[in-house]
Amino acid sequence: MISGEIGKLAGLIKTGAVKIGENLNLGYWLPISQSTEDILKLFRLENGLDRALSSPDVKRMETYLRSVNKYKRKNKMSVLGVFSAYYGDDAVATVLVSAQRTKKSESKFQTILQLRNAQLSGWLKDDESVDDVFRLLKLHTDGYSALGSPKLEALDYYMKMFNREKSGQETLLQVLTNGFDGEHNLAKLLIRAKKDPRTSELANAMENALLNKWLSSKSRPVDVLKMLKLNEYMDEALLDPTYHTFYLDVQRKKSPYQNVIDRDIYQELWGR
């Protein structure tokens, strides 16, 4: 609920009795403790981010926050900060990327672009690693659909900014490997993602990147089996989809003229 005083201020603004930046005495209202929900309700922006971004009240809130910040020594507020605190970083990133893809008026497009840049710059200022942003965007909860999510586009933009500004060497493959807790989990996720038209293109690219990583590091096929955690039980390994997709691919590329069933490997891992 909006406090009584905030409710009174909201009513005055809505009726036009006061206008931000003109006859609104913020010094009178500032002692009131305002939550992000209070501020969004003040400008009727609390009913969904898609709807909020289409509202002219975003600009009014921006003007209001600039005025409020003149009276604050610390904990200054921003449009992005209010949206992120209320809706979450992941929801904000999703909506901003999706909104930028659709046709908007020039002013709305610029607003969306400014908010996207503010989100990326804010993460960088807060020294968030690319792995940190992966978690902030909750991509780990999306499973293979993360590969088709607008949030992944936001992550990719941030990764490029991070590498440029921090002289980083991050790659999408490494971030996905870390985010999904290891190559064995990522390999299984990629197999599922390849079957979905929405994620198949990136899944194929990541699969090739993973295979090339193993090949360039001179990993033996037996090492790949261990990385995929298929080295404990032979019967389970032979039924696992990652065995057929990843292990056999590495084996074929390393020894294209040999039988893919390597008896020495079977003997080393399973004693057979």
Same domain membership, residue 52 and residue 81 = yes
Phi, psi of 110 (to 5 degrees): -65, -35
- Kindly state whether residue 24 falls inside one of the protein's structural domains: yes
Backbone phi, psi, residue 205, to 5°? -65, -40
With respect to residue 156, please indicate whether it lies within any of the assigned structural domains.
yes
Percent of the chain that is helix, strand, coil (3-state, to 5): 70, 0, 30
pLDDT greater at residue 222 or residue 166: 166
Q: Read off the pLDDT of residues 194-247 as tens digits, 9 standing for 90 and up.
A: 999 999 999 999 999 998 888 888 777 777 777 877 766 666 666 677 776 666
Chain centroid to CA 14 = 36
Taking only Cα atoms into account, the Rg of the chain, rounded to an integer number of angstroms, comes to 26
Asked whether residue 214 is domain-assigned, the answer is no
| pTM to 2 decimal places | 0.80
Mean pLDDT, residues 73-97: 93
What are the DSSP calls for 38-76, one per residue? HHHHHTT--S-HHHHHTSTHHHHHHHHHHHHHTT-SSS-
Q: What are the DSSP calls for 158-192, one per residue?
A: HHHHHHHHH-----HHHHHHHHTTSHHHHHHHHHH
User: Is position 165 within any domain?
Assistant: yes
Q: What is the pLDDT of residue 92?
A: 96
Domain shared by 78 and 95, yes or no: no
Can you give the pLDDT at residue 181? 95
Q: Considering 162, 181, 200, which residue would you say is the last residue of a domain?
A: 181
**Structure token digits, residue 34:** 């305002």
Residues 51 and 1 in one domain: yes
Same domain for 25 and 66: yes
